[in-house]
Structure 1
Amino acid sequence: METKDSNGNVLNDGDNVQVIKDLKVKGASMTLKRGTTIKKIRLTSNPEHVECRVGKGQIVLKTCFLKKV
């Protein structure tokens, strides 16, 4: 299955994406603001999730809140 962003563009390992909505991160006291660019995503076995590194932590984001840069 293909992993697609909110606009329907196909995502690949190592792509850069941008957050389209303010997101509260569970388990941490931080919020990802709209427009934040995330570099070098990694695809997971689930086509609706991607792994990425934000600061020193590693998180999983849903693709419906991302767009390809």
Structure 2
Amino acid sequence: MSDLVVRDSNGAQLNEGDSVQVIKDLKVKGSSTTLKRGTVFKNIHLTDDAEEIECRSAQIKGLVLKTCFVKKV
């Protein structure tokens, strides 16, 4: 997994434990919750897919976001 490069919507490289910000309102599948633009997630976890990251949220467990919807803070 060390050769996997994960990039955000602006092309900045994301690393394990970075903080990211949502760049547009997102409806969460399987939930009535909407992630608002500007929501910050700290301490992200990289997955085996270069286009997906795992985030922790108090409202939603096991949240996976596409990297095209986040930017590095």
Tell me the TM-score normalised to structure 2 length. Answer: 0.91
Superposed CA RMSD: 0.8
* Counterparts of residues 1-69 of structure 1 (less than 5 Å): 1-56=4-59, 57-69=61-73
Unaligned runs of 5+ in 2: none
TM-score (norm 1): 0.96
State percent identity of aligned pairs: 62
Stretches of 4+ aligned residues off by more than 3 angstroms: none
Count residues with an aligned counterpart.
69
- Report which of the two structures shows the higher radius of gyration computed on alpha carbons: 2
List runs of 5+ in structure 1 lacking aligned partners: none
